[in-house]
C-alpha cells in the first residue's frame, strides 16, 4: 500500500511570504489546543466557522473536530515549528457524507492574524490529496452570505456557489490530483490559488514516491 501523508507527519514547509509551518494530522489529544486556537479568532471568524460566537468553544465542537479516524473524518493543523505552546495558525477538516461516501463536508479555521497568507490553500491541498485516496470525489460546504473571502476562494478553486435564502451552498468537484497536475500546465490563466494548489500537490505526490 502506498504511504499516506500522515506517514510522513509532522513535516515542515514555508509559505511564499516566508512563514514557517509544521503540518500534521489533528489527534484526539488536541482538544485543549483546539480550545486555545478558538481564542485567537475574532467574533466574526467564530460566527463564520461555527455559526455562533460564544467566548469559549463548546466541548462538543472541540471533541468532534478532534475525533478523527482517517477515513470518515480527516483533519490537519498548521503549527508554529518554533513554539510548541502556540495553538496553531489554522486547521482544516472534512467529514464524509453518511448517505454518499464520495462526498465530504469541507471546513477551515484560520486565525485572523494569519488570513490571506495561503494557509487555507495549503491545508486544502492536503485534504484533497488524502481525500482522493479515501474515495472522496466532491467537497461540499455552507457559508454565511457576508463571508466574502470563502466565496471568492471557493470560486477561484473552480467550485459552484449556490445562493439560498440565508446562506450559500458550496460544491466543489474533485479530480485525480495527478490528472489535475497534467491539466493545469495547459490551462489558460488559471487562478493564482489553483497555481498554489498545484505546487503543493506536486510536493505531496513526490513525497509518496520517495
Q: Give the pLDDT of residue 56.
A: 80
- Tens-digit pLDDT profile for residues 146-201: 888 899 999 999 999 998 888 899 999 999 999 999 999 888 888 899 999 999 99
Q: What's the pLDDT band for 210 if we cut at 50, 70, 90?
A: low
Output 7-10 pairs: Cβ under 8 A, ≥24 positions apart.
8/207, 10/79
Residue 54: all three cell numbers together: 460564544
Rounded to whole angstroms, how far apart are CA atoms 95 and 136? Answer: 10
Burial zone of 165 (CB within 10 Å; 0-12 exposed, 13-18 middle, 19+ buried): exposed
CA atoms within 13 A on the CB side of 160: 10
Segment holding 96, helix H or strand E: strand 90-96
Higher pLDDT, 143 or 54: 143
Instruction: Express each pLDDT in 85-116 by its tens digit.
Output: 999 999 999 999 999 999 999 999 999 999 99
Res. 209: pLDDT tops 70: no
Residue 145 sits in a domain whose CATH number is 3.40.630.30
> Could you give the angle at the alpha carbon of 15 between the alpha carbons of 25 and 8, nearest 5°?
30
Per-residue pLDDT tens digits for 13-47:
999 999 999 999 999 999 999 999 989 888 888 88
DSSP single-letter state for residue 32: H
Q: Phi, psi (5° rounding) for residue 80?
A: -90, 115
Domains identified in the chain, total number: 1
Rounded distance between C-alpha atoms, residue 13 and residue 114, angstroms: 16
Its domain, for residue 141, covers 5-209
Q: Is the pLDDT of residue 208 over 90?
A: no
Chain segment 43-89, per-residue pLDDT in tens:
888 888 887 777 788 888 888 899 999 899 999 999 999 998 999 99
Please give the C-alpha separations between residue 133 and each of 2, 74, 98, 206, in angstroms, as whole numbers: 10, 12, 18, 15
Rounded to two decimals, the pTM is 0.93
Amino acid at each position: 500500500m502506498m504511504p499516506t501523508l500522515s506517514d510522513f507527519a509532522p513535516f515542515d514547509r514555508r509559505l511564499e511570504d516566508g512563514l514557517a509551518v509544521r503540518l500534521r494530522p489533528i489527534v484526539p489529544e488536541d482538544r485543549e489546543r483546539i480550545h486555545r486556537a478558538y481564542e485567537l479568532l475574532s467574533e466574526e471568524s467564530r460566527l463564520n466557522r461555527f455559526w455562533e460566537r460564544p467566548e469559549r468553544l463548546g466541548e462538543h465542537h472541540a471533541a468532534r473536530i478532534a475525533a478523527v479516524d482517517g477515513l470518515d473524518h480527516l483533519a490537519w493543523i498548521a503549527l508554529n515549528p518554533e513554539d510548541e505552546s502556540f495553538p496553531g495558525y489554522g486547521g482544516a477538516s472534512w467529514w464524509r457524507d453518511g448517505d454518499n461516501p464520495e462526498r465530504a463536508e469541507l471546513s477551515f479555521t484560520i486565525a485572523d492574524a494569519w488570513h490571506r497568507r495561503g494557509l487555507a490553500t495549503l491545508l486544502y491541498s492536503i485534504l484533497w490529496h488524502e481525500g482522493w485516496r479515501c474515495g472522496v470525489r466532491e467537497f461540499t460546504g455552507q457559508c454565511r452570505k457576508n463571508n466574502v473571502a470563502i466565496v471568492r476562494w471557493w470560486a477561484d478553486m473552480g467550485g459552484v456557489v449556490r445562493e439560498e435564502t440565508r446562506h450559500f451552498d458550496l460544491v466543489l468537484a474533485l479530480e485525480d490530483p495527478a490528472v489535475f497536475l497534467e491539466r493545469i500546465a495547459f490551462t489558460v490563466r488559471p487562478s493564482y490559488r489553483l497555481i498554489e494548489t498545484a505546487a503543493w500537490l506536486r510536493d505531496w505526490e513526490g513525497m509518496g514516491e520517495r
